[in-house]
Amino acid sequence: MVLWIFGFGSLIWKPNFEYKSRVIGRIKGYKRRFWYRYVKVRGTEEKPGRVATVIEDPEECVWGVAYEVTDENQDQVKSYLIDCRELKTFKDAYILGSVTFYPQDTTVEPIQAMCFLNNPEFHLYITGGESVGESAKVISTAVGPTGLRNDEYIFKLADFLRDEAKVVDEYIFELEQHIKEDQVSQSA
C-alpha cells in the first residue's frame, strides 16, 4: 500500500526523509495559521516563536506538497515523523489524520494522505487565534537557541507558494508583508 504524506509547513522544503515522488497541491476544508507557540527551534520559553497548524474551515484550502513514500521506507518515515520530528517536538500538538489531497495537475486523481492536523487542546495552541499583525510582531524577532530565525519559516513558505506552486495565499502573503514592515521599523 502506498503512503502519501501532506506537508503544509517546513516539510515542504525540508522533508528529511526519502520519498518516491513529490506533488504540489492542496487540501480543502482547512486553513493554515501560525497559532502554535514554538519554544524549541525557532523560539524560546521566554520568547516563543510560531509554527503552522491546519485548522478546519469549510471555506478555505491549504496548498502544500504530498510525498509518496515507498513500501520499504514507510515504517522508517512514519517513525521519523512521529517519534523524532512532528510529535516528539510537539507532544500532543497534532492529531495524526487522513486528508484528501488534490494535486495541482488536475489530470491526477485526488490522493489520500497522512497529515498532522491541529489539536485545539494542545497547551501551546493560541485558542481563538491571533491577528496577522500580532503573529508578525512575534515572528519578526523570534530566534531559537540554535540561531534559527522564525521569519525564515514564513519567507520560505511564501517563496514556495509564489515561485513553485504559483498560487496566492492571502494570509501567508499578508503575514510576510507585516513581518518585513516590522523588521524595517525595528531597524530604523
Active site residues per annotation: 86
Hey, what's the cell of 30? 482547512
Indicate the burial class of 171 (C-beta count within 10 angstroms; 0-12, 13-18, 19 or more). Answer: middle
Longest dimension (CA), the chain: 56
Cell 512575534 belongs to residue: 138
